[in-house]
Chains A and B, each alone.
Chain A
């Protein structure tokens, strides 16, 4: 996790959610299948070297799954986990083409990835326009780095398919000054803006959009650009801003009562306890839930309470999240229903759209979970993962 450094604000909530869920399982249920879960946390400050250091330091302790929460660390770990045989879960980030489990045996990125996100965003705009974006202008405003550049090929493919005009505008790290980008947007008046930002870039972008009077409902961020942190500094002006999501918002779920009772009141909360119910907290919790489910599956499948990384991997590869699973965990309808296979480490790419309500100060989903354009996305994934396989002498296979 990273609770320090430029992206601390996002890192804290996620880490709290992740840790609290496991604490809850330990406190309430006595662990997973009777085995206490331990969640060692390393502070990486979003820094690749520290990530690697952490990985090396902890892998010998029998780690079951890694959740690095930074795209760059993911890239370093992908080859390492193949050798060490430990699964890596990059939920909604990381290397998109890792969805192809034939090439990336140990890397999982269910339930959604960036290319799904790009496609989902376009789908949403399609919905708003009765299925046609012919002649519309869509601008991708993105972080000038690996993360921000991920959606470009997908969007280019989609632009061709749907006949909209795509422009991309890059913002360099850290993105405190975006005047020129927004003046450009003001001049060109795109119909829609898709936004791939992280950290301070988000807050400034939302603020600047408000400043130039851009209609907020046409401005949509990826899920990493859609937390309370991103919209609060802009105040009322942020009302109506949208962001993609792949899980529910708010604390209106039974699990939160349990967290209050077993974790917060017991004084075992990971952080200050002030993040509960925030978007990123929920995301951390959701990630923890998925990991816990896989672990439980592994125990079930092998009949052994003490599972190994290899068992964990196999369980992740056959993971199936049903409505019942979520119900049992106290989070009914929290995320999409999906399943993982060896060919598909990325789930079904179901995403949803959330919108910010500045008066109520809360995010809420305004759509169901809907699929991405699998045709476009999967073709791209295939191409990219095969290129990787060729470069690294991997024979794609499923056994």
Chain B
């Protein structure tokens, strides 16, 4: 496990505010930092603003009529807020978007190749990486000639992650990678994340609902609620926090509780009190 204090901070988000459509305030002062070589998890319920945070970082808000109105986003000490998304990719930050977003009409292989769009290190290196991605996701190799639009949800998710890897990034912003994946595959994908992190030194900022898995693989975690960071800490600590246990891990005092028992049961979040 990484020691937070020693490593260099790659990405630093400082107290940002995001407004959609000039009227809808979504992020109300979010700060977080991603250390080099770490896996940082961003947790929180639906609509907490995880996706918005990631998009703010990779500058994709613009096309959704959203804008960062306050605060700053620094990557390696440079302000990156005003860059084009493609410049950010060139600097090594790439986002895997929520809901897959594969290029439907391109084949799986073409999809992966678009990931290498910004690379300049020659065809040889690219095809080596392509091979690597296929080794991570053998299923993609089988379907390499199919149009992405006709592959199943899980295949598309793999494709989207593979595509990001193809750009040889330094930091990957991963938005809900486990959504809609079979349990086995979730494990697999997280293992791949871990491998990439350990072997290639890729840093991750990971937005996840599946707190269970996320906290198992992450080093550090932030919990976001209604556009604010309500809790942060090393993953191991968060895992032990009773609130987190109850609300995000689905555990009660006596182990995992059944979904059948939730009927007449009301909860209260202590930190909101």
A and B touch in the complex (CB under 8 A): no
B interface list, Cβ under 8 A from A: none
A interface list, Cβ under 8 A from B: none
